[in-house]
Structure 1
Amino acid sequence: MKEKLEELRQRALSELATREGKEALNEWRVQFLGKKGELTAILRGMGQLSPEERPVIGQFVNEVRSQLEEAFAEKENLVKKEERERKLREQAVDVTLPGRKLPFGHEHPLMRTIREMEDIFIGLGFEIAEGPVVELDYYNFEALNLPKNHPARDMQDTFYVTDEILLRTHTSPVQVRTMEKKKGDVPLRIVCPGRVFRRDDDDATHSHEFTQLEGLVVDRNIRMSDLKGILLAFAKQMFGQDREIRLRPSYFPFTEPSAEVDLSCGSCGGSGCRVCKHTGWIEILGAGMVHPRVLEMAGYDPEIYRGFAFGMGIERIAMMKYGVDDIRQFYVNDVRFIHQFKTWS
């Protein structure tokens, strides 16, 4: 039996030297050291030995097993080291190469316009106010001097959820909610940017969803000239110091008197061209003095307090500032269109 063990040891060590890779090593371990391996098979013959031979052969078996296990462990470590080195070679990174520049994003032109408008009005002493997009009919219409069945409601074709809940058609409800919250405190100076919804046909200048920025000032001794001064300051900061504005009489249910506000054309300097339809002026917003009924419903005494309000479409401001001729470009997310604004300051 000793000769068999010696022959097994020499053969196992010889084969181990030729094995490469984890799978080949595992096969060798199963063949020689496994429960059904060759060494175990030889040990089954121990019962045929005499009592005097068993301790001697048993000690020799332990020596052979220990030698084979040590040789296997060394070979396994060597294979693992070679595998690690191979992966390092294959996955090597040249750290001296210049890095790849990642493209930086930038603000959407509408968001950039909103931020610029907010900054201008904050500089003029206004605060930013926000409110719900899904609104009550009361705040969207009734509190703004537009009771049920008022014909002026037809001016704003509305998405209704129920008879009393709708998608707001303007951000004016935020003004009413803020006045109610302030409970007669003055001065009140807010601008309300946000999304609004109307059942308009989608074309180059209209969209069923768009954004507005509305402003409100309430205080003692507020005059129409204050409104014009604020809007003139906004126009000059937004479009250039050479711009002028004019007010034309108009009608809005929640202001009296009301006015349409025009901006002098930047393309022709006011002399008349195709852009301004040869008038020298471009309409940009609506405004007026807050109707006494609106003040009263919000908790302000119209005999003591007066105010002015204005509202403008942010898309229209962005279209004029950046020379965009189709409102739908702001919403189709065409990267070619949006990328143009990366270089605008």
Structure 2
Amino acid sequence: MKDKLLALKEEALGQLQGVTDPGTLNDLRVKYLGKKGALTEILRGMGALSAEERPVIGQVGNEVRGAIEELITGKQEEFQRRETEERLRAEKVDVTLPGRPMTQGAVHPLSRVIQDIEDIFIGMGYQVAEGPEVETDYFNFEALNLPKNHPARDMQDSFYLTEDLLMRTQTSPVQARTMLAKKGETPVRIICPGRVFRRDDDDATHSFQFHQIEGLVIGEGIRMSDLKGTLLQFVQEMFGEHTQIRLRPSFFPFTEPSAEVDVSCVKCGGSGCRVCKHTGWLEILGCGMVHPKVLEMGGYDSQTLSGFAFGMGVERIAMLKYGVDDIRHFYNNDLTFLKQFARI
């Protein structure tokens, strides 16, 4: 048995000396030292030895195991050292190279425009009011002088959740809720920013979800000239001091009289170009004097008080301000597009 052990030692050490990879080393370890390995098989025969031979063979077996384990450990350390050296070479840093710039995020252009609009109107004494996006039929339509048979209530234009609940189609319900909460108190000067939802086509100028900012002023002696002056100040702060506006007669159920507001073209300054279709003007928002019925439903005396309201699409303002020709760019999460606004 002693001769078998010594022969196994020579065989194992010979094979281990030529190992060049960790996988082969592990296979040889299992082959010679495993539970079913060669050394274990030989030592199982110790039961047949005399009491005098067992200590001698046991000592030889331990020496063989120790010699094999020592060589295996040395090889493992060698492989570990080689791996570390290779990793350090691969991860070597050239300290003479210039540093890598840190990539910073930027405020989304729509968020930036909303902040700009809020800052302008807060500077004029307005407060920001908010309301729910899931709105009741009453606040979304009836409180704004849109009766049951009005075309704007068509279910083809609105996302109805139940017969009485829908995704708000405008931020005007916030105005109606604010009037009721004020309980006839004046003055009222608010803007209402938020998301709205309509079943519009998904094309270059429309989206089923977009952002609006509407404004409401109520008090004594509020006139159309106050509305025009407010909007003129707004567009000049937003697009530049040389921007002009014009009001064209229009119709909205919640205002009377009503008007569409155009601004002098932000591209050509009013001289006429492709952007404004050579008219010199670009449509930007709708406005008007608050309809007496809307005042009455909001708890205000239409005989002694008056007010004006206006509403604008944030995407429309952003497209004009930044020269964007497709509304979908704001929602596609294209980093190439969004990175441009990190420098604005």
CA 1:220 to 1:156, structure 2 compared with 1: closer, same or farther past 3 Å?
farther
CA 1:334 to 1:85, structure 2 compared with 1: closer, same or farther past 3 Å?
closer
Unpaired runs of 5+ residues, structure 1, are none
Structure 2 CA distance, aligned partners of 1:253 and 1:297? 14
Which deviates the most, 165-174 or 95-104? 95-104
Shift of 1:59: 3.2
AA matched with 1:333: N
- Secondary structure (helix, strand or coil) at the match of 1:131 reads coil
CA deviation vs aligned residue, 1:281-330 (integer Å, no higher than 9, x gap): 54432222222321221223334543221112333333433445x55454
User: Are the equivalent residues in 1 in contact too, given 2:196–2:210 (CA < 8 A)?
Assistant: yes
Shift of 1:108: 4.7
2:228 corresponds to 1:228: yes
AA matched with 1:68: I
Shift of 1:249: 4.2
Query: Which residue number in structure 2 is paired with residue 158 of structure 1?
Result: 157
Query: Which residue number in structure 2 is paired with residue 32 of structure 1?
Result: 32
Query: Which residue number in structure 2 is paired with residue 57 of structure 1?
Result: 57
- Secondary structure (helix, strand or coil) at the match of 1:118 reads helix
Structure 1 CA distance, aligned partners of 2:295 and 2:327? 36
Matches within 5 A, 1:291-302: 291-302=291-302
2:149 corresponds to 1:149: yes
Shift of 1:101: 4.7
Structure 2 CA distance, aligned partners of 1:32 and 1:337? 61
AA matched with 1:338: F
User: Are the equivalent residues in 1 in contact too, given 2:157–2:200 (CA < 8 A)?
Assistant: no
Unpaired runs of 5+ residues, structure 2, are none
AA matched with 1:213: I
Structure 2 CA distance, aligned partners of 1:336 and 1:40? 64
2:332 corresponds to 1:333: yes
CA 1:167 to 1:97, structure 2 compared with 1: closer, same or farther past 3 Å?
same
CA 1:157 to 1:302, structure 2 compared with 1: closer, same or farther past 3 Å?
farther
- Secondary structure (helix, strand or coil) at the match of 1:119 reads helix
- Secondary structure (helix, strand or coil) at the match of 1:177 reads helix
AA matched with 1:318: A
Matches within 5 A, 1:7-26: 7-26=7-26
Query: Which residue number in structure 1 is paired with residue 68 of structure 2?
Result: 68
Shift of 1:227: 2.0
- TM-score between the two structures when normalised by the length of structure 1: 0.80
Query: Which residue number in structure 2 is paired with residue 122 of structure 1?
Result: 122
User: Are the equivalent residues in 2 in contact too, given 1:267–1:275 (CA < 8 A)?
Assistant: yes
Structure 2 CA distance, aligned partners of 1:281 and 1:110? 23
- Secondary structure (helix, strand or coil) at the match of 1:231 reads helix
Shift of 1:205: 5.1
Which deviates the most, 33-42 or 330-339? 330-339
- Secondary structure (helix, strand or coil) at the match of 1:30 reads helix
Number of equivalent positions:
343
CA deviation vs aligned residue, 1:172-192 (integer Å, no higher than 9, x gap): 111112222333343322212
Structure 2 CA distance, aligned partners of 1:114 and 1:172? 17
Query: Which residue number in structure 2 is paired with residue 314 of structure 1?
Result: 314
Query: Which residue number in structure 1 is paired with residue 256 of structure 2?
Result: 256
Shift of 1:264: 3.6
Structure 2 CA distance, aligned partners of 1:52 and 1:337? 85
Which deviates the most, 40-49 or 229-238? 40-49
Structure 2 CA distance, aligned partners of 1:229 and 1:156? 37
CA 1:133 to 1:54, structure 2 compared with 1: closer, same or farther past 3 Å?
closer
- Secondary structure (helix, strand or coil) at the match of 1:51 reads coil
Query: Which residue number in structure 2 is paired with residue 191 of structure 1?
Result: 191
User: Are the equivalent residues in 1 in contact too, given 2:106–2:339 (CA < 8 A)?
Assistant: no
AA matched with 2:158: F
- Secondary structure (helix, strand or coil) at the match of 1:213 reads strand
- Secondary structure (helix, strand or coil) at the match of 1:218 reads strand
Structure 2 CA distance, aligned partners of 1:23 and 1:34? 15
Shift of 1:159: 1.9
Query: Which residue number in structure 2 is paired with residue 181 of structure 1?
Result: 181
Structure 1 CA distance, aligned partners of 2:342 and 2:65? 75
